[in-house]
Amino acid sequence: MNELLLQGLVNGIVVGLIYALIGVSLNVIFGVLRVVNFAHGEFIVLGAYGAYFAQAWLGLSPLLALPLIFIVFGLMGYGLYFVLVKRLARSNDPEHASLLVMFGLSLVLGALMLLAFEADARSLNFTLDPPFLMFGNIILPTTKLLGLAVAVVVTGALAFFLYRTLPGKALRAIIMNRDAIQIVGVDLNHLSALTFGLGLGLAGITGILVSMIFPSFSPFIGQDYTLIGFIVIVLGGLGHPIGAVAGGILFGLAEQTAMVFFSGTVAMLLGFVLLIAVILIRPAGLFGVQNSR
Amino acid sequence: MWTITKRTFMAGTLLAGLALPVAGQAQEKIKIGMTVSSSGNFALASQSGVRGVEIWVDEVNANGGLEVNGEKRLIELVKRDDRSDKQMVARVYEDLIANEDVDLLMAPFGSTLTAAAATVTERLDKFMVIWSAASDALYNQGFKNIVSATQMPVSRMPSAGLEAAAALGGKKVAIVNVDEPFPAGLADGAEAIAEKLGMEVVLKEDYPKGTKDFSLLLQKARAAGADVFFPTSYEGDLISMVRQMRQMNVNFPFSFMVYASTPQFIEIGDDAQYIYSHTNFHPTINWEVDAGLDREGFLAAYEKLFPDVSYEPDFQTVLAYGAGVIAGEIIENAESLNAADLKKAAMELSDNLTVLAGPYAIDETGKQLKMPFPVVQLQPGKGLVTVWPKEVAVAEPIYPIPGWDQRD
């Protein structure tokens, strides 16, 4: 049991960091644009399909597809901002309006993927040699370690961008005070579109990573990832890009260690109990600030 | 000259009058009603099935019909639409019986629609042949006029797989399932069958829909000492499980996955090798039939009757065709088309008939007791081959499944 518990803890951290990556891109979009991206999971699945077809048609390894998918999804997000998101600002209640629009978009994307890729479950043909590494009695798949490394690099790069570069600081400034930043002459539209592009670009590469680590995907699983993303950002703090990392690890640890002692169904239930407890004790999440708007 | 008296004329007229309906009856068709889903969730499976029934009807009529009480009678299939709607099924089955005056019925697709149809056929005392309803609950409701001709109930589906595992030496079983009705029903059935076979169930665990990581679950199964791994989930989860089995270096001497015989699972490549599964329609499954067409004849008939249909025949087509053949045998062996007589004949035929879908046996509730889905295994160089039961096996099972480091 001790061995399984240790394995559960290690697994929790690894899976938690992948969950964190799902939440980070969702949080960037919510924090800056106040857009509740209900279609986030579908974009992640679309990223997985992107890697699948990049491999099938271009012979690209999923790792080499990462920058390609990031650029393609980034450009798609930049364009989509002007088509969908910008006009939401005219609404009396942009957050609720965005929730409805993005929920509609998630249905449309799910249906389009079903039409284009059919209902079959797919899996990336990706293996590493050796397939696993042993640390004492703890076994760690190399695919997970690689995914973990990419997740850490991407999160680190995002943190650097947000905290050390001027556009990143401007982005954070939007989170703090949307009106004030326009007074100092920042092009809000361009920066918002850039943010939406960044969010979708991150969703795309998250899609590749999750399809390497959680091997099968189909057009129906987008909502699963959206749910994970929302749990993670509510735990970590709504709108706080790095808070999602803490939220992801916390949720991953709770879920995986509970699985050592209980069934998967009970483990998930305990994950939700944790979420409710955090909301009761710290309504803004672990890293959230009250009235961040 | 006039030899026909008034009396003989009257008698002749009377005889002719009596003879006419008799001659008319000789040509009267046996009317069989059923619904097909033109739309909705069940459309694809329902239409696959009805093509099987149509092949049977065509075959019977081409041979002059079914012999009922010494006379050949053709079959007329009265098809109606149910749009996958259980309320509509009830209305249409009532109409088929009351207004179309059908003699008996073939069930619609699936447990949901079949249950709705059964309430009507039971109330109006008509016999119904089922080809696709697997819910155990349906057969526990006391319906007297139903017979599942080819579809075994969910609780019995794991039988062949576990029997094969037990015969090969499997002793400790780990059963896992996604928390959904059909996989959960399979898992409960697997637990009962394993215990009946004298195997120890060392792990039985469910997980919520949407679970993405199975590595800990796999390790729990290994830590429990399982030598038979029996997940009953859908193919997406099974693909993740088998990939993660390799990633975590987890291997079981016998791994049976319900959907591992699907092309989508096989497409994942080397990781799919050696996994056991089951199916009822495969080039290597050829039951020795004693009624209806064999596999080759069936494929030729499908090709002839449906040259423009873009779908190949699938297991639904086979189940429905087999149910048609069994319905024909029941009709020919019954004293009348009365529901009770047909049920009596169905019981008498139990365990005495093998059709394309397999051997037929039922109990009083109409529940199918046989029609096992033969066990198949994906073997290197051979592809998917049937390994169990012995009547249809074409290859020896590879057991134990070699460890990940022992494969080429």
What is the fold of B156-282+373-406? Rossmann fold (3.40.50)
What domains does chain A contain, in order, with CATH numbers? Answer: 2-281 (1.10.3470)
Tens digit of each residue's pLDDT (9 = 90 or more) over A197-234: 999 999 999 999 999 999 999 998 999 999 999 999 99
Using an 8 Å CB-CB cutoff, list chain B residues near A221.
210, 236
Tens digit of each residue's pLDDT (9 = 90 or more) over B372-405: 999 999 999 999 999 999 999 999 999 999 999 9
Task: Kindly report the nearest CA distance between residue A204 and chain B, in angstroms.
Answer: 18
Q: Is B216 on the interface with A (CB under 8 A)?
A: yes
Q: Is B220 on the interface with A (CB under 8 A)?
A: yes
Q: In the structure encoding, which two tokens stand for residue A138, read together?
A: 């703890």
Cβ distance A265 to B207 less than 8 Å, yes or no, reads yes
pLDDT at A293 over 70: no
Give B307-310's long-range contacts (Cβ < 8 A, gap of 24+): B309/B51
Cβ distance B223 to A265 less than 8 Å, yes or no, reads no
Q: Is B45 helix (H, G, I), strand (E, B) or coil?
A: helix
Look up the CATH number of domain B26-153+286-360. 3.40.50.2300
Please compute the mean of the pLDDT values over residues B52-68 and round it to a whole number: 96
Q: Is A133 on the interface with B (CB under 8 A)?
A: no
Question: What pLDDT score was predicted for residue A289?
Answer: 63
**Dist CA A269 CA B224 (whole Å):** 24
pLDDT band at B408 (very low <50, low <70, confident <90, very high): confident
pLDDT at B19 over 60: no
Tens digit of each residue's pLDDT (9 = 90 or more) over B249-283: 999 999 999 989 888 899 899 999 999 999 988 88
pLDDT band at A180 (very low <50, low <70, confident <90, very high): confident
Task: Kindly report the nearest CA distance between residue A195 and chain B, in angstroms.
Answer: 28
pLDDT at B248 over 70: yes
Question: What pLDDT score was predicted for residue B7?
Answer: 52
Q: Is B204 on the interface with A (CB under 8 A)?
A: no
* Residue A283 contacts residue A32 (beta carbons within 8 Å): no
Cβ distance A4 to B236 less than 8 Å, yes or no, reads no
Average pLDDT taken over every residue of chain A: 89
pLDDT at A42 over 50: yes
> Around Cβ B142, how many Cβ atoms within 10 Å?
7
Cβ distance B210 to A221 less than 8 Å, yes or no, reads yes
* Residue B371 contacts residue B356 (beta carbons within 8 Å): no
What is the residue extent of each domain of chain B? 26-153+286-360, 156-282+373-406
pLDDT at A237 over 80: yes
Please compute the mean of the pLDDT values over residues A47-64 and round it to a whole number: 95
- Angle formed by the axes of helices A188-213 and A142-164, to 10°? 170
Lowest mean pLDDT among A77-81, B21-25, B104-108, B389-393: B21-25
> Around Cβ A286, how many Cβ atoms within 10 Å?
17
ipTM metric:
0.87
**Dist CA B331 CA B319 (whole Å):** 18
Question: What pLDDT score was predicted for residue A290?
Answer: 57
For residue B68, the cross-strand partners are B71
Instruction: Report the chain B residue with the minimal C-alpha distance to residue A140.
Output: B248
pLDDT band at B343 (very low <50, low <70, confident <90, very high): very high
Using an 8 Å CB-CB cutoff, list chain A residues near B404.
131
Task: Kindly report the nearest CA distance between residue A15 and chain B, in angstroms.
Answer: 8
Tens digit of each residue's pLDDT (9 = 90 or more) over B143-193: 999 999 999 999 999 999 999 999 999 999 999 999 888 899 999 999 999
Q: Is B292 helix (H, G, I), strand (E, B) or coil?
A: coil
pLDDT at B221 over 90: yes
Tens digit of each residue's pLDDT (9 = 90 or more) over B318-342: 999 999 999 999 999 999 999 999 9
Nearest in space to A286 (alpha carbons), one of A171, A275, A257: A275
Q: Testing the interface with B: which of A128, A206, A221, A263 to mutate, by most B Cβ within 10 A?
A: A263
Lowest mean pLDDT among B3-7, B24-28, B350-354: B3-7
**Dist CA B184 CA B189 (whole Å):** 9
> What is the percent of chain A where pLDDT is above 70?
97
Highest mean pLDDT among A118-127, A254-263, A276-285, B317-326: B317-326
* Residue A237 contacts residue A288 (beta carbons within 8 Å): yes
Q: Which of A7, A221, A264 sits opposite B206 (nearest CB)?
A: A264
Question: What pLDDT score was predicted for residue B230?
Answer: 98
Q: Which of A120, A139, A223 sits opposite B249 (nearest CB)?
A: A139
Please compute the mean of the pLDDT values over residues B60-64 and round it to a whole number: 96
Q: Virtual CA dihedral for B398, B401, B407, B408, nearest 10 degrees?
A: 20
Question: What pLDDT score was predicted for residue A57?
Answer: 94
Cβ distance B264 to A121 less than 8 Å, yes or no, reads yes
pLDDT at B3 over 70: no
Question: What pLDDT score was predicted for residue A88?
Answer: 83
Tens digit of each residue's pLDDT (9 = 90 or more) over B292-311: 999 999 999 999 999 988 77
Q: Is B406 on the interface with A (CB under 8 A)?
A: no
Please compute the mean of the pLDDT values over residues B349-354 and round it to a whole number: 97
Task: Kindly report the nearest CA distance between residue B198 and chain A, in angstroms.
Answer: 25
Cβ distance A216 to B179 less than 8 Å, yes or no, reads no
**Dist CA A192 CA B15 (whole Å):** 96
- B26-153+286-360 and B156-282+373-406 share one fold: yes
Cβ distance A8 to B216 less than 8 Å, yes or no, reads yes
Question: What pLDDT score was predicted for residue B12?
Answer: 47
Q: Which of B217, B236, B269 sits opposite A121 (nearest CB)?
A: B236
> What is the percent of chain B where pLDDT is above 70?
93
B245 membership: H or E segment, kind and range: helix B235-247
Q: In the structure encoding, which two tokens stand for residue B232, read together?
A: 């009953």
Question: What pLDDT score was predicted for residue B21?
Answer: 43
Q: Is A8 on the interface with B (CB under 8 A)?
A: yes
Q: Which of A141, A143, A256 sits opposite B216 (nearest CB)?
A: A256
pLDDT at A34 over 70: yes
- The DSSP secondary-structure symbol of A242 reads T
Question: What pLDDT score was predicted for residue B181?
Answer: 83
Q: In the structure encoding, which two tokens stand for residue B299, read together?
A: 């494929």
Question: What pLDDT score was predicted for residue A121?
Answer: 86
Give A113-118's long-range contacts (Cβ < 8 A, gap of 24+): A113/A42, A113/A45, A113/A46, A113/A49, A113/A219, A113/A222, A114/A219, A114/A220, A117/A49, A117/A219
